[in-house]
Structure 1
Amino acid sequence: MTETVLVEQHPGWRRLVLNRPERLNAFDRAMQEALHRALDDAEADRSCRAVVLAGSGRAFSAGQDLESVRSEADLGRVLEDGWNPLILRLGRLGVPTVAAVHGIAAGAGVALALACDIVLAARSARFHMAFARIGLIPDSGATWQLPRLIGPARARAISMLAEPVTAEQAEAWGMIWRAVEDEVFGAEAAKLAERLAAGPTAALVATRGAFAAAGTATLEAQLERERDLQRAAGQHPDYAEGVAAFLEKRAPRFGARA
């Protein structure tokens, strides 16, 4: 039986590859469960300090495999049991995450990429909010992510018109971090993972949490949150190493995950 999520281990990080290329890496329930297991295993491995999520074949992910839910009367349950826990899992993972998007990312595949900390795209990538084409609304956190990233006007338009967004547009709009040439895309994703893996893991994960909370927090609440997170960061060995490296004019050597 073909593995629907391939795990590539590299020094300090892992690449998780969605592997249903004949279905453009569209998800059925088994694939969601396989990705959950792969994320759990990566987090449990204390030597793993970053995760790259990528796709095999011609696409990152076409989102939900419609054939697998064709007879499902309650699509809300599909989200509640499958996509929603997966999106939340990515947001709570104990290491930073990178979505390496090539080819098409459609529907929940877009939301999956945006749930990662950093999105790197090949120049040929396309982000397609295709829900309206089949009479559905954006889901899997897309209605939360997109307005915050590109503004409500653009979020509404790309969702209602179901028109694909190029990698260059996505970068210009702030939807993703960077678009790079296809020829160097794989190498750039690996460099990004290596850089994150060499960083202060606890501080990077806390940074993610702080930004996620800021969207619905008052300034006073966010200042208090920053105080508490900074207090914890200041007591972590990575802080002492970072200061020592700065004063000694050398690159820091951050320790293992806490």
Structure 2
Amino acid sequence: MSTVLLHIENGVAYITLNRPEKYNSFNRDMALTLQAHLDACEKDDNVRCIYITGNGKGFCAGQDLSEFPSPAEIDFEKVVREHYNPVISRFRNIEKPIVAAVNGVAAGAGANLALACDVVVANKSASFVQAFSKIGLVPDSGGTFFLPRLVGLQRASALMMLADKVTAEEAVNMGMIYRAYDDEMFEQESKRIAATLAQMPTIGLGLTKRALNQSYNNNLNQQLELEKELQVKAGRTEDFKEGVNGFLEKRKPEFKGK
């Protein structure tokens, strides 16, 4: 069976990391298959939201170190360049909303992959661990970029150096993730978020994502100029016209993602 499953339904692409016996830790096949699925979702106009979760008890435990014969034979340059960096780039550059539904432990690169998504939710039994320091490594997969911006430099430093386990509810309270749900409601609620996003104005959401990405580098004046440019593009969409008509006609608009 594939290491990454893809199922598309009602505008949502459901991507499931599928190595449950390894807590969905990454090997090369899994990384390349995920990239291929993301590329397909980007090109498919029927996909208006991407939902990523893990099969079994874990979301993703990071890199599967048992893939290599010994620590000395790990080609970190190749692994990071070919496996993880391309996934993070796709997460941020695909102009469709991506929901990470963290169903269990998210450790190392698995935690940082989740944090690179647009909306991150978890069940209350899930946890996040910056596990790199436990084996003498540096956080990768965008962790040193996203985590300080989410929780602040001081807290990010402590979490990365001490490798503390953060519960889902703690992650919500510190601004690391959006929401945590009771385990029995998690799948229903997380999929409800994806379904909602899939029925919203897709181009407008994608332009919002572009603006957020560029806000990391722009000063205020540059960001104001970018907002103006993107607002002009959004105002030319069919979904904007439908949204206005729905408001004026006192009905729920039916967005088409166009």
> Shorter-chain TM-score category?
over 0.9
Residue 125 of structure 2: aligned partner: 124
Residue 242 of structure 1: aligned partner: 243
| Cα deviation, residue 68, structure 1 | 2.0
AA aligned opposite 1:104: V
Residue 218 of structure 1: aligned partner: 219
| Cα deviation, residue 242, structure 1 | 0.8
Matches within 5 A, 1:58-207: 58-69=57-68, 70-207=71-208
Whole-angstrom CA distance in 1 between matches of 2:133 and 2:139:
8
CA change 1:243–1:7 in 2 (3 A) is same
Residue 41 of structure 1: aligned partner: 40
- What are the Cα deviations for residues 38-83 of structure 1, in whole angstroms up to 9, with x where unaligned? 1122222221111100000110000111122445354133111211
Whole-angstrom CA distance in 1 between matches of 2:210 and 2:94:
10
Q: Secondary structure at the match of 1:100?
A: strand
AA aligned opposite 1:86: V
* Structure 2 residues not aligned, in runs of 5+: none
Residue 252 of structure 2: aligned partner: 251
Q: Secondary structure at the match of 2:46?
A: coil
AA aligned opposite 2:215: A
Contact 2:17 2:54 in 1 (8 A): yes
* Structure 1 residues not aligned, in runs of 5+: none
Whole-angstrom CA distance in 1 between matches of 2:131 and 2:102:
17
Whole-angstrom CA distance in 1 between matches of 2:31 and 2:62:
11
Whole-angstrom CA distance in 2 between matches of 1:174 and 1:209:
21
- What are the Cα deviations for residues 128-161 of structure 1, in whole angstroms up to 9, with x where unaligned? 0000000011111000000100000110001100
For structure 1, which segment, 198-207 or 246-255, has the greater mean C-alpha deviation from structure 2 after superposition?
Answer: 246-255
TM-score (norm. length: structure 1): 0.96
| Cα deviation, residue 192, structure 1 | 0.6
| Cα deviation, residue 10, structure 1 | 1.6
- What are the Cα deviations for residues 207-234 of structure 1, in whole angstroms up to 9, with x where unaligned? 1111121122100000011011001001
TM-score (norm. length: structure 2): 0.96
Whole-angstrom CA distance in 2 between matches of 1:219 and 1:37:
36
Identity %: 46
Whole-angstrom CA distance in 1 between matches of 2:114 and 2:213:
16
Whole-angstrom CA distance in 2 between matches of 1:124 and 1:199:
30
1:19 is the counterpart of 2:18: yes
Q: Secondary structure at the match of 2:73?
A: coil
Q: Secondary structure at the match of 1:227?
A: helix
Q: Secondary structure at the match of 1:250?
A: coil
Residue 32 of structure 1: aligned partner: 31
- What are the Cα deviations for residues 162-204 of structure 1, in whole angstroms up to 9, with x where unaligned? 0110101100011000001000100011111110000000111
Q: CA RMSD in A?
A: 1.2
Count of residue pairs brought into register by the alignment: 256
